[in-house]
Amino acid sequence: MDRGIVLIENLDIGDIPNTPKNSNFNNLTLNPSRNILLKYAQVYGWPISFAQEQKGELIQNIFPIKKTENQQISTSSKIELGLHTETAFHPYKPTAVLLLCLRGDPNAITTYAYVDEIVKHLEPSVVDTLTKLWFTTSIDDSFRTNGESDMELTCSVLKNNFSKNVKAEQFFDITYDDVLMKGVNDEAIDALGHLKDAIKNCIREIVLKTGDLLIINNKTTIHGRRPFDARYDGTDRWVQRILAIDTLPPASHRDGHVIITKFGK
């Protein structure tokens, strides 16, 4: 797949009801949007979800919820959603994140940055440090909505991924979370600081309009969202999300399309 993003515009999503105001709404069957998401997700692998997130729903609805407006979670609105790899902590991270905009908001700006551009702003010694298992990240709030315990998991930020098409040309995959990631020693902490500075130089922005489908390469592109004002009156931004993975986890870690990997004790 493309190493960055793909934007497909003006898709026919049918008639859209009022944006729900809380997570207890009836999960309406919006067939046009569901069919679009499933069609494109299958291009990038197997559509999947996670047992701990939105009860394992394959098509996830993302809209502002008042009780989470200040959390680092997709249903927030008042705070900056930090740039991140989707489920950075997870051993079976999705390959692609697909966001279909059912109702746009010109003030809700999606941010993203490509690893290929980020590494150009880093010294080779910093890049080398970022490939070491000297970093930790913890579990997303969206996986702990029922009081589940948190834990730190070890990872590297960058992973060597040599191009199969261009000999001797080196590329990297990235695992990153602006809020949750930490370095475990002074060298790692310093490298993380340089990385954050580099990312600031590479941030791009896009505003999703009604009918837009944004496809993000989760291996190479980190994404986030600027804060915006939610109204909670049925007219708020509403995005549907589906995830796809190019290599299925072992059978013991999935139940149908749902990844059931457990964390903590």
What pLDDT, on the 0 to 100 scale, is given for residue 69? 92
User: Which two three-digit tokens encode residue 32?
Assistant: 């046009």
Q: In the structure, what pLDDT confidence band is assigned to residue 163 with cuts at 50, 70 and 90?
A: low
Beta strand 258-259 pairing with 46-50: parallel
pLDDT at 144: 83
Smallest CA-to-CA distance from 260 within 5, 50, 60 is with: 50
Contact between residue 180 and residue 89 where contact means Cβ atoms under 8 Å apart: yes
For 71-96, give the secondary structure using H, E and C: CCCCCCCCCCEEEECCCCCCCCCCCE
Q: 165 pLDDT band (50/70/90 cuts)?
A: low
Alpha-carbon gap, residue 192 to 34, rounded angstroms: 39
Q: Tell me the pLDDT tens digit for each residue of 110-159.
A: 999 999 999 999 999 999 999 999 999 999 888 887 777 889 999 999 99
Q: What percent of the chain has pLDDT over 90?
A: 81
Q: Which residues of 196-219 are buried (b: 16+ CB within 10 A; e: fewer)?
A: eebbeebeeeeebebbbbbbbbbb
pLDDT single digits (tens) 207-246: 999 999 999 999 999 999 999 999 999 999 999 999 999 9
- pLDDT at residue 167, rounded to an integer: 47
**For residue 29, what pLDDT is reported?**
62
Helix (H) or strand (E) holding 136: strand 135-138
236-248 pLDDT per residue, tens:
999 999 999 999 9
What pLDDT was estimated at residue 204? Answer: 98
Q: What is the pLDDT of residue 169?
A: 57
Q: Is the pLDDT of residue 73 over 80?
A: yes
Model confidence pLDDT, tens digit, residues 5-56: 999 999 999 999 999 987 776 655 688 999 999 999 999 999 999 999 988 9
Q: Per the CATH hierarchy, to which homologous superfamily does domain 42-57+77-203+216-259 belong?
A: Clavaminate synthase-like (3.60.130.10)
Give the per-residue pLDDT at 77.
93
Rounded to whole angstroms, the Cα distance separating 86 from 221 reads 10
The tokens for 108 are 């809700």
The predicted pLDDT at position 168 comes to: 47
E strand or H helix at 40: helix 31-41
Delimit the domains of the chain by residue range.
42-57+77-203+216-259
